[in-house]
Amino acid sequence: RRRRASSYARPQWRVPVSLLLQGVASSGPLLMPRGYAQPSLSRFPIDGSALDRLDKWLSRPAFRLRLGHFPELVFSVPACCFGYPLAAAPLALWLALLAGGSPSPTAWALAAAATAAVLGLHLRLLLTHDAAAPAATAARAARSVYSVPAILLTPPAAVAAAHVLGLPGRGAAHAYLTLWYASIAPVLMAKRLARRRRPIASADVPPKALPAIRAILEHDANASFPSGDAAGAMSFAYPALRCAGLPA
């Protein structure tokens, strides 16, 4: 017990150099302190405070819904789009395609292939979960969608592809990725300060039909606030509205 408390008080980060470069939505298992397993009390809002009770009262009906496997798969797709760093690449390509001009069939095929690859990886993580070894699912997520190469290489690769293909809307992709990277630092810093416990890690929230979701998120259980998914969605929505002319 003493050793665990000591390691938690002075966490050793697994990826210290890239702390500010880890993706938007879920901080991911790569950002956990070594040995950290159980969620701790939230710092903001403090557990039991008026703001905490209001938040739980408002969100309890949604979090206690039992949707079943297929609806949970469907609702997990937005989190895949705006929570995975790896998904920034196909999103950037789609913005470049939709921002104007007459893209070639090769550009459309590349965007479709990148989207299918990310969604396929997402579904594989959720559907190949072993309930007897939940840590293995989180480890696969750490090696794939939350890995440092996924964060540092795939989004710039999408912009490079837009340049090579001569897409006239590549400025929208630039704007999206600039906002995407710029949102990472404040989101992660605030997460570390607030240490808001995820609802899925609370005892009064029933288990999900897809246990892989809980297995992944519980490995960074105190990273609920502020929302990285919301930051990623806004990073996409602004250039989509201003550059690509898509409906808000």
pLDDT in tens, 138-160: 777 777 777 787 778 888 888 89
CA 76 to chain CA centroid, nearest Å:
11
- pLDDT of the residue at 4: 42
The confidence score (pLDDT) of residue 116 equals 93
**Mean pLDDT of the chain, nearest integer:** 77
Is residue 162 predicted with pLDDT exceeding 80?
yes
| Among the ranges given (32-41, 56-65, 182-191), the one the predictor scored with the smallest mean pLDDT | 32-41
Q: What is the pLDDT of residues 102-145, one digit of tens each?
A: 888 999 999 999 999 988 988 888 888 777 777 787 777 777 77
Residue 14 confidence class, pLDDT cut points 50, 70, 90: very low
Q: What is the average per-residue pLDDT within 212-236?
A: 84
Which of 113, 98, 94, 89 lies closest to 23 in space, CA to CA?
A: 89
Q: Residue 229: is its pLDDT beyond 50?
A: yes
Q: Sort 107 into a burial class: Cβ within 10 Å, 0-12 / 13-18 / 19+.
A: buried
Burial zone of 228 (CB within 10 Å; 0-12 exposed, 13-18 middle, 19+ buried) = buried
Q: What is the pLDDT of residue 247?
A: 56
What letter represents residue 29's amino acid? P
HEC string for the chain:
CHHHHHHHHCCCECCCCCHHHCCCCCCCHHHCECCCCCCCCCCCCCCCCHHHHHHHHHHHHHHCCCCCHHHHHHHHHHHHHHHCHHHHHHHHHHHHHHCCCCCCHHHHHHHHHHHHHHHHHHHHHHHCCCCCCHHHHHHHHHHCCCCHHHHHCHHHHHHHHHHHCCCCCHHHHHHHHHHHHHHHHHHHHHHHHHCCCCHHHCCCCCCCCCHHHHHHHHHHCCCCCCCHHHHHHHHHHHHHHHCCCCCC
When pLDDT is averaged across residues 35-58 and rounded to a whole number, the result is: 81
- The more confident residue out of 102 and 25 is 102
In this model, does residue 50 exceed pLDDT 90? yes
| pLDDT digit string, tens, across residues 88-97 | 889 999 999 9
Considering only 17-26, 63-72, 108-117, 175-184, which range has the smallest mean pLDDT?
17-26
- As given in the structure block, the two tokens for residue 19 are 């702390």
Name, in order, each residue with C-beta under 8 angstroms of 220's C-beta and a sequence gap of 6 or more: 26, 27, 28, 29, 31, 32, 198
* pTM, rounded to two decimals: 0.76
